């Protein structure tokens, strides 16, 4: 049997918000291709560190609060110090809050814009100089189907996600003649802690079971009636880092079971 070198061996990937859900799924898929990993997020991280280290790559963790530009500066400096530079940047950290515009708490609005949108500006502005110097880099912004269409009660989230789709295009254009690409991934429903909260709220308000609440959520929006998985999203991220993707620039790629095709 022949063993090929993992495609991302020697590269370093920073995945923000990678202690659970989509970020962790992407971090594990990048590690499986040989990338060293900087984890970030507020959740328990030791088991993720152990799992990724067992894949034979180097892994570290930084607890930056992605709503704070000074924390982000520290995260980027720590990544460069630990690994040399950040070759693959996955802007994934995100939160949700559900309320009508007139009832939306202003503090939640500010937090969602800071974490889901502005953090990607700060990480990108700090990662780009070394990516440009080495003429290779991948910035992958985890947007959402809500970067392309709206849903009631999600004003801040939809505004932030439309914003990150725009940031993706501009970052891609500014680097279009280089080896640095920037693209967005737009998932539909993924059954992570962020969505389980919405399933729980639906089950409570309609007085239905967890399973019924999940089916209802899918039936409203996602024709496939299936959740996208963090593993599928990780495989798309790996593809966007690979050799065939060098001229994919500024794309927002749905993985939404047909949600936005309607």
**Cβ-based nearer residue to ligand NAD, 6 or 77:** 77
66 binds ligand NAD (CB under 6 A): yes
Q: In the range 77-106, which residues lie near ligand NAD by CB under 6 A?
A: 92-95
Q: Which of 12, 14, 15, 19 binds ligand NAD (CB under 6 A)?
A: 19
Q: Point out the catalytic residue in the list 45, 83, 109, 157.
A: 157
- Candidates 190, 236, 238, 240: give the one binding ligand NAD (CB under 6 A): 190
- Plot region of 135 (φ>0 → left; ψ -120 to 50 → alpha; else → beta): left
Q: What is the DSSP letter of 152?
A: T
Using the contact rule CB under 6 A, the part of the chain among 41-49, 120-128, 166-174, 212-220 near ligand NAD is 41-49
Please, what is the minimum distance in Å from the beta carbon of residue 133 to ligand NAD? 27
Give the C-alpha separation, 155 to 168, whole Å. 20
Which is closer to ligand NAD, CB of 56 or CB of 193?
193
24: which residues sit within 8 A by CB, 6+ positions away?
A: 15, 18, 48, 230
Size of the residue set binding ligand NAD (CB under 6 A): 29
**Choice from 155, 189, 199, 251 touching ligand NAD (CB under 6 A):** 189
**Residue from the set 12, 20, 175, 181 that interacts with ligand NAD by CB under 6 A:** 20
Active site residue 157: yes
Selected binder of ligand NAD within 10, 84, 105, 193 (CB under 6 A): 193
Please count the helices (runs of H) and the strands (runs of E) in the chain: 9, 7
Q: Give the Cα separation of 28 and 32 in Å (integer).
A: 6
User: Residue 52: which H helix or E strand, with range?
Assistant: helix 46-53
d(CA 176, CA 132): 11
Tokens of 150: 């709206």
Cite the active site residues.
157
């Amino acid at each position: 049997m022949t063993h090929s070198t993992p495609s991302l061996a020697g590269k370093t990937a920073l995945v923000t918000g990678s202690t659970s859900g989509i970020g962790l799924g992407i971090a594990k898929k990048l590690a499986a291709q040989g990338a060293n990993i900087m984890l970030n997020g507020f959740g328990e991280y030791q088991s993720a560190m152990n799992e990724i280290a067992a894949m034979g790559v180097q892994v570290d963790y930084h607890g930056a609060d992605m709503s704070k530009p000074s924390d982000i500066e520290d995260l980027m400096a720590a990544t460069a110090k630990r690994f040399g530079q950040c070759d693959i940047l996955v802007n994934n950290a995100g939160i949700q809050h559900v309320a009508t515009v007139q009832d939306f708490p202003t503090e939640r609005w500010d937090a969602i814009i800071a974490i889901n949108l502005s953090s990607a500006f700060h990480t990108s502005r700090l990662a780009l100089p070394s990516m440009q110097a080495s003429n290779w880099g991948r910035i992958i912004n985890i947007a959402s189907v809500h970067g392309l269409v709206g849903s009631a009660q999600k004003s801040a989230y939809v505004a932030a996600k439309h914003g990150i789709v725009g940031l993706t295009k501009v970052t891609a254009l500014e680097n279009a003649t280089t080896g640095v690409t920037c693209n967005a991934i737009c998932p539909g429903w993924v059954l992570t802690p962020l969505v389980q909260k919405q399933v729980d709220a639906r089950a409570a308000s309609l007085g239905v079971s967890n399973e019924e609440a999940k089916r209802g959520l899918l039936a409203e929006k996602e024709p496939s009636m299936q959740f996208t998985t963090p593993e599928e999203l990780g495989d798309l991220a790996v593809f966007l880092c690979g050799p065939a993707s060098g001229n994919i620039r500024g794309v927002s790629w749905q993985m939404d079971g047909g949600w936005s095709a309607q």
